[in-house]
């Protein structure tokens, strides 16, 4: 079952989406393989802090954050990876590391890698390590209003 808050939000906005069940997986590349989705088409959510404020960086599973580029996209003075301890209680209905990229539902800014904006659809964790949600990227963009920019490099984080 997807995160109730997210599902209600999508349903309330009349968004068409599908859920994809897969065997338990924890890394983005394992999830992509388990769900039979190419790593470049699966979005992973990386928790970051921009000048001390929690935010989300969303990128293809096959890429990693380039913090130098991300600093320019965010406009922040200091951009760093958030620790699990810093964000674990911000998503009470989610398993750790399976947060969907809807920071707007949690009062957070969302930064999306430009590679994802080029795809027609976006797939991402649905709050658990056994389920994904897939929907039109245009719907995701309209609902989340992320800032899109170039901030990734090859490899995974």
What pLDDT does 1 receive?
39
pLDDT band at 119 (very low <50, low <70, confident <90, very high): confident
Mean pLDDT in residue range 88-117: 91
- Structural domain range at position 89: 4-154
Checking if the pLDDT of 40 tops 90, the result is: no
- Report the CATH number that the domain containing residue 8 is assigned in CATH: 3.90.960.10
Kindly state the helix (H) or strand (E) to which residue 136 belongs, with its residue range. strand 131-136
pLDDT in tens, 46-89: 999 999 999 999 999 889 999 999 999 999 999 999 999 999 88
What pLDDT does 156 receive?
57
What domain count does the chain have? 1
């Amino acid at each position: 079952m997807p995160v109730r808050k997210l599902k209600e939000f999508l349903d309330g906005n009349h968004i068409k989406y599908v859920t994809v069940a897969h065997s338990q997986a924890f890394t983005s590349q394992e999830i992509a393989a388990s769900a039979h989705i190419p790593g470049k088409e699966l979005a992973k959510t990386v928790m970051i802090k921009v000048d001390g404020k929690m935010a989300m960086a969303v990128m293809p599973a096959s890429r990693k954050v380039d913090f130098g580029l991300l600093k320019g996209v965010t406009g922040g003075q200091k951009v760093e990876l958030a620790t699990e301890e810093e964000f674990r209680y911000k998503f009470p209905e989610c398993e750790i590391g399976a947060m969907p990229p809807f920071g707007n539902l949690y009062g957070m800014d969302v930064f999306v890698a430009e590679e994802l904006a080029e795809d027609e659809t976006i797939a991402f964790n649905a709050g658990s390590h056994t389920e994904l949600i897939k929907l039109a990227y245009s719907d995701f963009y309209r609902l989340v209003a992320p800032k899109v920019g170039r901030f990734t490099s090859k490899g995974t984080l």
